[in-house]
Structure 1
Amino acid sequence: MYLTRFGINTERIGARKILSSPQVLHAAVMASFAELPDPSPDAPRVLWRLDRDSRSRTHLCIVSPYKPDLTHLVEQAGWPTTARWETYDYGPFLDRLAAGDRWAFRLTANPVHSVRNKDGVPTKATAHIGPRHQLGWLLQRQESSGFRIVRKASARDDEDPLAAHELIVHNRRQLAFTKRGAGKPVTLVTVTYDGRLEVTDPDAFRRILTRGLGKAKAYGCGLMTLATA
């Protein structure tokens, strides 16, 4: 597995084009690989996420089973003569993960739940809108995903979960775009989680880091990255 970070020059016309649609950016990311990854559900997949830092710089993060070649993105949306991209071997880090490790994390996700509006009709994936429900979506998945969101030392059992956990939910975005060959626009809501977690099941957690969490993985959701807490 590989972890890649690429700086996007948002002043370039090409950058504005690829940032205008998750569908376009997904195609650009997948064009970075001469060989497409194994499509089976249990295989590691290509995950990506857009990050903006405190200085409003935009970076593309990619986790992938193969090393990407982002030459086309540098030419279209980067700095061809002064900056390219950084790719790291992710495998040794993943292998070292152990139960009890604590990490700061970032995750952009598409928190949805299934709703049936009337009897006899299929359920429909509906976005969680409020921060409390968006947090609940993540808390519901932590045990099976091999981690636990760290609770504040001062938290009470009856305290609001948003205040009790070392976590913020921010950067809510509603995206609408048209998939190639489809007439009806795709709409999805994304949010970013920044917080601290503890690893409880390293194998399950490694699956999340290499396969993603939640839906809309092709559109910049599901990639969790870690940093020293």
Structure 2
Amino acid sequence: MFLTRFRMNTARTGARRLLSSPQVLHAAVMASFPGLLPTQTAAAPNGPRVLWRIDQNARAEVLLYVVSPEKPDLTHLVEQAGWPAAADPGNPGWQTRPYAPFLDRLAQGQRWAFRLTANPVHDIRRKPDEPRKRTAHITPVHQMGWLLDRQERCGFHVVEKPQSERLLPGGTTYRGHEHHGDRYRLTVGDRRGLAFDKARAEGKRGNRVSLVTVTFDGHLEVTDPVAMRRALAQGIGKAKAYGCGLLTLAPLDGTE
């Protein structure tokens, strides 16, 4: 497996076009793998898949991260949305590193800073005789709850704050729900509502896609290294084709 980072040149029209549509960006990411035809995907049913995420740290610092089973070639992205004149054989315009050695070093009890852009959803039924409908979680409390519900199966626990750092007294609730935001080292930000038409063959308009995405930042502790590796390789949650599900880790001391 490989982890790739590519910085977008937001002054270029091509970069703005890619960033305006998760569907267009997904197609560009998938075109980075010469062995894949346009109608194929790189995901086995229970194996590693191509995951990607956009991190916008500042107006001029927009980073594309890709986790993939194969090593990608991002030449087309450099030409459309990078700095092609600055590229050379030693610096093609993106950085790719083997991911497996890092995954193999994961061990129970390790603590990491993490980031995850996800599509927190749940199935609801307003009436007993109605079919269930997939609906986005809207409030930060419920969005945090969505991630906390998945942490055990994903092989980690979000780190809790010591009582001395909590602003709310123990047991405080918010509209009947535990106020997760004050208990855990976890924040929810960069909420986005996306709506676009899914492309179809011959340029026909497809079904309308609506998504709510949020970015989680926090600290976690590894509880099950095997499940953790699976979450890092397969992603978490829905809408992986649209930039959701990619979990990344970083040392808590701030080093690369």
Instruction: After TM superposition, give the deviation of residue 137 of structure 1 in Å.
Output: 0.2
- For the residue of structure 2 that corresponds to 1:7, the secondary structure is strand
Secondary structure at the residue paired with 1:193? Answer: strand
Helix, strand or coil for the counterpart of 1:66?
coil
Choose 24-33 or 55-64, whichever is displaced more: 55-64
Residue aligning to 2:181: 162
Instruction: Tell me if 1:68 matches 2:83.
Output: no
Give, in angstroms, the shift of residue 157 of structure 1. 4.7
Unaligned runs of 5+ in 1: none
Tell me, in whole angstroms, the C-alpha distance in 2 between the residues paired with 1:7 and 1:148.
31
1:6 corresponds in structure 2 to 6
Between 131-140 and 154-163, the greater mean CA deviation after superposition: 154-163
Corresponding residue SS for 1:73 = helix
Residues of 1 paired with 2:60 and 2:126: CA distance?
41
The RMSD of aligned alpha carbons is 1.4
1:211 corresponds to: 234
Structure 1 position 184 matched with structure 2 position 207: yes
Separation (CA, whole Å) in 2 of partners of 1:100 and 1:56: 36
Residues 188-197 or 51-60, more deviating: 51-60
Partner of 1:173: 192
**Aligned equivalent of 1:152:** 161
Instruction: State the SS of the aligned residue for 2:4.
Output: strand
Question: Displacement, 1:56?
Answer: 4.2
Deviation, 1:183, is: 3.1
Q: Which residue in 2 is equivalent to 1:134? A: 143
Cα distance in 2 for partners of 1:39, 1:88 equals 20
**Cα offsets for 1:93-152 (capped at 9, x unmatched):** 000000000000000000000011333332111000000000000000001110000000
Runs of 5+ consecutive residues of structure 2 not aligned to the other structure = 88-92, 173-178
SS at match of 2:84: coil
Please state how far the C-alpha of 1:209 moved relative to its aligned partner: 0.2
How far did residue 2 of structure 1 move?
A: 0.3
Letter in 2 for 1:48: W
Tell me how many residue pairs correspond in the alignment: 229
Alpha-carbon distance, 1:18 to partner: 1.1
- The residue type paired with residue 213 of structure 1 is I
Q: Distance in 2 between matches of 1:7 and 1:51?
A: 10
> Secondary structure, in 3 states, of the residue corresponding to 1:133?
helix
- Correspondence for 2:24: 24
CA contact (8 A) 2:10 2:60 kept: no
Structure 2 Cα separation of the partners of residues 144 and 165 of structure 1? 18
* TM-score of the two chains, using structure 2 as the length reference: 0.86
Q: Specify which of 42, 58, 62 is matched with residue 58 of structure 1.
A: 62
CA distance in 2, matches of 1:180, 1:138: 30
Residue of structure 2 equivalent to 1:224: 247
What is the rounded CA distance, in whole Å, between the counterparts of 1:18 and 1:111 in structure 2? 23
Write out per-residue CA displacement over residues 52-102 of structure 1, whole angstroms, 9 at most, x where no aligned residue: 114641010000000000000000000012250000111000000000000
Q: How far off is 1:43 after superposition?
A: 1.1
Separation (CA, whole Å) in 1 of partners of 2:55 and 2:139: 22
**Which consecutive segments of 4 or more residues in structure 1 shift more than 6 A?**
none
Instruction: String of CA shifts for 1:30-53, please: whole Å, max 9, x gaps.
Output: 000012364332010000000011
Partner of residue 90, structure 2? none
Secondary structure at 1:118's aligned position in 2? coil
Of 39, 49, 53 in structure 2, the residue corresponding to residue 49 of structure 1 is 53
Q: Percent identity?
A: 62
